[in-house]
Amino acid sequence: MKVTFFADTDTLYIEFKAGSIAESRDLDENTLLELDAEGRVCALTIEHATERTGIPTFSYQQVAA
């Protein structure tokens, strides 16, 4: 998983898995879902991220199974 924030465009890009994008779906006018050929989610793009998400306070925690 890779999370990238583009401050110049206020865009948050979350890549869940690397691969070829076969389809993109607009969830709303500022959110794009990208799928592979099997319909699995590859990435999510969120425009206007600072007002729509908690990106200024982003944290990550991995919990052992």
Question: What gap in Å lies between CA 24 and CA 44, rounded to an integer?
Answer: 9
What DSSP line would sit under the chain, residue for residue?
Answer: -EEEEETTTTEEEEESS-S---EEEEEETTEEEEE-TTS-EEEEEEESHHHHS-GGG--------
48 or 60, which is more confident = 48
Domain range annotation of the chain: 2-55
pLDDT given for residue 60 in this prediction: 82
57 or 6, which is more confident = 6
Over residues 20-38, the mean pLDDT reads: 97
Strand order in the sheet with 23-28: 2-6, 11-15, 41-47, 31-35, 23-28
Q: What is the mean pLDDT of the chain?
A: 93
pLDDT given for residue 19 in this prediction: 87
